[in-house]
């Protein structure tokens, strides 16, 4: 058994955790909305057609914010199609995913669902095929009290009070050639700056998120981010980062090591923002929103083939990824990277909530079940509250084709002052070896272990599809405590959480 030493001190902190770091994402894609969260004929459907069984699991996940309506979908979306009497809403060709959009579910349905789920809404405006005028009309519909064309239209639709939506994304992945209305950084930056300026003229309380690079391997990264920030720095509150990782064929060591790429991606974007800040002689510190992130398991050519085989259907089952234990460990590692940057990352949206790269899977007219990635999200969202501590760690490492010096033990320590808990999260990347994490807790007096959980499996490719409880966390007695320190024994390929009363 190899030993990793982790040192943390109450006085050395990275930053407070913003509750919005535990967000998710809903897009009109495949079965995410229809038969995902919304299925009026389902046995569990409420009076608004929302699946109560799914709503219950969303609440248990402790999701805090949800981004809507896209995603690639938004770049050709007319929000007016999704409001008003349902029988009058048009059916439209949905170009991003080659489907028929019925518009049965739209803005007001989402806001009803968000209230029931107790989540903050994050809305996205169409800067692909539309622009400034559409964005201000949408904001007027949602946020202006009354007495104007679009605020009165909302009232005609049965919504008397404005929603007061605070967070708005100015387009989606506009750096991507796949995006409808794809633009250069210069063209997007100018449009986003003008759109944001006008939106804040109407409602200066809103927060705006501008598009950064869609992936760390984009050819235009990081020049795109610097160009966009230079044009939007005065109006933007957040720069968006998106990141997905596939590569299950890399082998476990290479696959799990991709969190190091995510660390470098965020470090680079933070540096780019600092350059623009100094260039503008600004006192403003740019914050970040990782408003799409997750593990991707279905190759893009497979997704395209699925779409091409059955185009122009209504809510077709496409890209329904089934996650393994191995996928859940990378997922947990990505979440730790986000939390280790809690000083500047204030919003994060796991992508997506249901059926596509999802935590929750549903069957049409049937039951739901929880994917392996649901559990790390649940434990972080439930217990990683308060302050992320700055730690120093030394222990065994490995090298693989793309990365050197990869620690076998990836860890995070959170100080929850309100509940007087110290919470330790750890992933053991080793396939064969038990690892021992020795945590030196300076300025903390340990009272007792509240709980220790471990999620592992006999086979790293095991999923919850057939046997829904095949890969779930279980309570362990794997912690030894003494004055000022604790030792945790980590099973091979495992996600772990230890809560200490201090």
Spell out the CATH class of 18-383: alpha beta
Which residues, 6+ apart, have CB-to-CB distance to 445 below 8 Å? 483, 484, 502
Q: How confident is the model at residue 301 (pLDDT cuts 50, 70, 90)?
A: confident
pLDDT above 80 for 299: no
The pLDDT value given to residue 415: 97
As a whole number, mean pLDDT of residues 29-54 equals 98
The CA distance from 18 to 260, in Å, is 23
Could you confirm whether 418 is annotated as catalytic?
no
* Sign of the CA dihedral running 424, 430, 431, 433: negative
pLDDT above 90 for 470: yes
| Percent of the chain whose pLDDT exceeds 90 | 95
The pLDDT value given to residue 308: 80
As a whole number, mean pLDDT of residues 445-467 equals 97
The pLDDT value given to residue 309: 82
pLDDT above 90 for 137: yes
Whether omega before 106 lies within 30 degrees of 0, making that bond cis, reads no
Which is the CATH superfamily of the domain at 2-11+387-501?
A: Golgi alpha-mannosidase II (2.60.40.1180)
Q: How many other β-carbons are positioned within 10 Å of the β-carbon of residue 145?
A: 12
The CA distance from 357 to 297, in Å, is 8
As a whole number, mean pLDDT of residues 56-66 equals 98
Q: 234-261 pLDDT, tens per residue?
A: 999 999 999 999 999 989 999 999 999 9
Q: 63-82 pLDDT, tens per residue?
A: 999 999 999 999 999 999 99
Catalytic-role residue among 27, 109, 140, 173: 173
Residue 412's H or E segment, with its range, is strand 409-416
DSSP for residue 174:
T
The pLDDT value given to residue 25: 98
As given in the structure block, the two tokens for residue 137 are 């009309």
Task: List the domain boundaries for the chain.
Answer: 2-11+387-501, 18-383
Q: 165-219 pLDDT, tens per residue?
A: 999 999 999 999 999 999 999 999 999 999 999 999 999 999 999 999 999 999 9
Instruction: Assign 3-state DSSP to the chain and report helix, strand, coil percentages, each to 5.
Output: 30, 30, 40
Length of the chain measured in residues? 502
Say which range, 1-10, 304-313, 331-340, has the weakest mean pLDDT: 304-313
As a whole number, mean pLDDT of residues 127-135 equals 98
The pLDDT value given to residue 302: 75
The pLDDT value given to residue 297: 77
The pLDDT value given to residue 307: 81
Could you confirm whether 432 is annotated as catalytic?
no
Question: Would you say 500 and 480 are in contact if contact means Cβ atoms under 8 Å apart?
Answer: no
pLDDT above 80 for 304: no
* Sign of the CA dihedral running 10, 14, 20, 24: negative
How distant, in Å, are the alpha carbons of 402, 409, 439 from that of 405?
A: 10, 12, 20
Q: Map tokens 């046997």 to a residue.
A: 467
Catalytic-role residue among 94, 292, 306, 421: 292
Residue 157's H or E segment, with its range, is none
Q: How confident is the model at residue 300 (pLDDT cuts 50, 70, 90)?
A: confident
| Percent of the chain whose pLDDT exceeds 70 | 100
Q: How confident is the model at residue 453 (pLDDT cuts 50, 70, 90)?
A: very high
The pLDDT value given to residue 268: 98
Question: Would you say 354 and 57 are in contact if contact means Cβ atoms under 8 Å apart?
Answer: no
Q: How confident is the model at residue 91 (pLDDT cuts 50, 70, 90)?
A: very high
């Amino acid at each position: 058994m190899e030993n990793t030493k982790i040192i943390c001190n109450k006085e050395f902190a990275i930053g407070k955790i913003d509750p919005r770091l535990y967000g998710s994402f809903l897009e009109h894609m495949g079965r995410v909305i229809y038969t995902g969260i919304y299925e009026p004929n389902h046995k569990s459907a409420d009076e608004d057609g929302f699946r109560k069984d799914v709503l219950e699991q969303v609440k248990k996940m402790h999701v805090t914010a949800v981004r809507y309506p896209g995603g690639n979908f938004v770049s050709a979306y007319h929000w007016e199609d999704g409001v008003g009497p349902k029988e009058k809403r048009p059916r439209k060709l949905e170009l991003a995913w080659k489907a028929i959009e019925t518009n049965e579910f739209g803005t007001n349905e989402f806001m009803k669902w968000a209230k029931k789920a107790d989540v903050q809404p994050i809305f996205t405006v169409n800067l692909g095929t539309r622009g400034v005028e559409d964005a201000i009309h949408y904001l007027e519909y949602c946020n202006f009290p009354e007495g104007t064309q679009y605020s009165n239209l909302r009232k005609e639709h049965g919504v008397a009070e404005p929603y007061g939506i605070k967070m708005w994304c100015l387009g989606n992945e506009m750096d991507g050639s796949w995006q409808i209305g794809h633009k250069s950084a210069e063209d997007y930056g100018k449009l986003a700056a003008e759109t944001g300026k006008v939106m804040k003229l109407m409602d200066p309380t809103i927060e705006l998120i501008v598009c950064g690079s869609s992936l760390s391997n984009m050819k235009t990264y990081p020049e795109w981010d610097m160009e966009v920030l230079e044009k939007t720095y005065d109006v933007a509150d957040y720069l968006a980062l998106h990141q997905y990782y596939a590569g299950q064929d890399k082998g476990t060591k290479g696959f799990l090591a991709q969190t190091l790429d995510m660390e470098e991606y965020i470090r680079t974007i933070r540096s780019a923002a600092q350059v623009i800040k100094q260039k503008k002689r600004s006192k403003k510190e740019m914050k970040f929103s990782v408003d799409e992130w997750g593990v991707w398991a279905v190759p893009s050519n497979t997704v395209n083939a699925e779409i091409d085989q059955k185009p122009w259907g209504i809510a077709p089952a496409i890209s329904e990824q089934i996650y393994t234990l191995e996928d859940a460990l990378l997922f947990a590692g990505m979440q730790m990277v986000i939390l280790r940057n809690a000083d500047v990352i204030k919003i994060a949206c796991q992508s997506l909530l249901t059926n596509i790269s999802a935590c929750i899977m549903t069957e049409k007219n049937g039951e739901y079940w929880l994917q392996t990635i649901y559990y790390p999200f649940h434990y972080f969202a439930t217990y990683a509250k308060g302050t992320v501590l700055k730690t120093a760690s030394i222990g065994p490492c490995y090298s693989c084709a793309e990365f050197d010096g990869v620690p076998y033990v990836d860890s995070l320590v959170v100080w929850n002052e309100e509940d007087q808990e110290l919470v330790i999260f750890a992933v053991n990347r080793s396939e064969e070896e038990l690892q021992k994490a020795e945590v030196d807790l300076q300025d903390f007096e340990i009272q007792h272990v509240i709980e220790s959980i471990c999620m592992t499996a006999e086979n790293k490719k095991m999923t919850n599809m057939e046997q829904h409880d095949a890969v779930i966390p279980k309570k362990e007695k794997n912690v030894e405590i003494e004055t000022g320190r604790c030792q945790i024994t980590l099973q091979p390929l495992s996600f772990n959480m230890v809560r200490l009363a201090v």
